[in-house]
Structure 1
Amino acid sequence: MKKSLLYLFMLVCSVTLFTGCSDDDDAVVYPIDAEIAGVYKGTLDISLDGTTIGSDIPKNITISKAGDASVNMELKDFNFMGMDLGTIALTDCALEKDGNSYRFTGKQVLNVTQYNLTGDINAQGHISGNKVVVDLDIAAKLGDLEQAVKVVYEGTKLTGSESSEAKIASFIIDDEAVVEQPVINEEAGTIVFAVNEKAASFKFTPIIEISEGATITPASGVEQDFSNNKKVTYTVMAEDGTVKVYTAFVEGTRSVLKYSFEEWGEQADEKNPDNMKWFSPLPLDELATANNGVAYLKGFDFTNQYNLTYGTLEEKEAGYKGSAAKLITQYTKGAGFGMAPAITPGSLFTGKFDFRMVLDPKEQLTLTKFGIAYDKKPLYFKGAYKYEAGENFVDGSDKENVKENTGETDQCGIYAVLYEATDKDGQEVVLDGTSITNSEYRVALAEIKSGVDTEGKWVEFNEEFTYLEGKSYDSSKQYKMAIVCSSSKEGDSFRGAVNSTLFVDELEIVGE
């Protein structure tokens, strides 16, 4: 029945409703141009047989002078539930003064033979100051079906100086489940965002900024349900009543590989489990450090002259959110009876540290086995970091000619590499410190733009994966993902500043 009434209402509104409200009273002259005529900004409420089917629908109406004591009223481009219902027009409606306000009424006999539609239309209007209320009562018959439609409009007269801008300037959802913040397409009138595929709920509370002086429905800060492909319609009304409609919805889901460093475990040197212990972030089968190598060097530091600390330490209160990983570049020239390089940067990476005693510092780079299995197409590498560069920059690239206090400024390194997990013969590929930056099996890279000192501040980053020349993602292939963080960007060349300190937190790989 409701559908039939909506159909009926569409038919009614698609024609001019009023050919005349009443006869003019030429003996009375009212200040129509000065007090009544103008554009009114307001909203519509629509009910069907007593049941509300639409409320607070933004719309403007125009009241103009028809005669000395009569007015016209027009409501253009009436759209409801996606239907263009045309124009509602009341013409030559006689005014009646009621104290300090005015009233007008009109009747119309409806007879649309094409659709076997008949009925009576009664209209009442009340203008008080700069306010107007218009009631439309339609008693209609579609064949033998009788139904009642009631439309109530309430509006305020505009001054003419109001802004016509009706835009959503920003649309933000502060929820960890949202991995890609909403993107506004002004031309299409859409707002799309992506969520974690493991999100427990699709109910979010958008915080919205709109044009100055405008209003929005639903309001900012009101929770909305975006589950099951639901779309939420936001209507922005400018000061002058101009309306812009936006549709917000979840564009898709994303996989998220995330490390927040909230959980830590204790590790020990296999050869000295009772004496050499350190904290490491979980999961231990995905995240690795070079702390085992530091433990080995500490074992030879009988007099504690190097005062070595483990490169990854638990920092409960130092994180961007909760705890974080802390990486420190250490001075190790001569440590381990000369086996260690001049500096040892703090490092954290996905993969494992395959420790064994190696005399050649360059061969020590092969101990870091980067990467874990990854079966998505990576889109972004996100996270936060804080960095303080040390003062004594050491160039240990030539072990026989180490240079200290070179005056250079250290930088940190934070990047992620997608690489092929097998070669052309089907053999496993494992990139290490000698190949992570140059291997032919690298496919895509995402890294921070600058690793300079952050002056004590946390810096967020969100870097897009870019594909190397001639490379593309192939879902039929197997891949590994290597996340690499170092307190000295050139640490793989044994160059860096002593005590350079890097904190990293909330690392994420967002994939498709």
Structure 2
Amino acid sequence: MKKNLFFLFALICSMSLFTACSDDDDDKIKDPVIGTWKVPAVELDENNSVIGGSVFMTWEAPEDTYLSFLPVSAIPSLAIQMGSVILPQVLQDVTLSADGNIVATYSSAGIDLLGEKPITPVWETSPADYATFKLQGNGKMLLFLNLEKIIADANTKADITTVISQLLELVKNGIPVNYALSNNNEEVKIFIDKELMTTIAAMGPAIAELIPDDPDALGSFGPMIKAILGDLPTAMSKTTKFELGLNLKK
């Protein structure tokens, strides 16, 4: 059950980075960001080391700021490497529809971080009523998650009461997300900033409890990720600049 809960939360977080922006409530949204955005494959150098991919991150804080045993200054590089390996295994694409719905193609088959146990994704399409978006203008956006529908479909409500109550507080007025189009609107960066991350960080300890102890889920990285989540609230209280987001392509 914990494994299913963790992938459910991963899907929710991934979808929270896909939105668009508008100045009105027209039935059909007209904006270059409308369409299907694909998660790019991880980029490797000649030594098979990760050099880029679907995740980018900036994090500035005092030198004595740590997550578990890791200094915050080392987190962006690690996040880019791990995130760019993980995300293509759990998320294939996200479609932003002109009617304001968001549909994701995702897999909960598992994650292989080290290339030791290759996992074949089993792609599924999320229902159209899981998430919607509203355009705000000036690179700002609001995402609305139908958490009651998501949790009911997953049959997980009783297991994640703490996380769900915190998520409901976060999403009731829409989740603010930033975006920037480039390369003739063929690429987009979608990211969250310090203000939103500080709110999310408060849920870190509760989210850590959702991570399964099953070594097939996150391998040897599981305990480290759980410790990092537990330290997030303190680290964000010291942070001066934070950006975390996705690089996506048409």
Same topology, TM > 0.5: no
TM-score norm. by structure 1 comes to: 0.17
Higher strand share: 1
Which structure is richer in relative contact order (CA contacts within 8 A, separation 6 or more)?
2
Higher helix share: 2
TM-score norm. by structure 2 comes to: 0.29
Which has more radius of gyration? 1
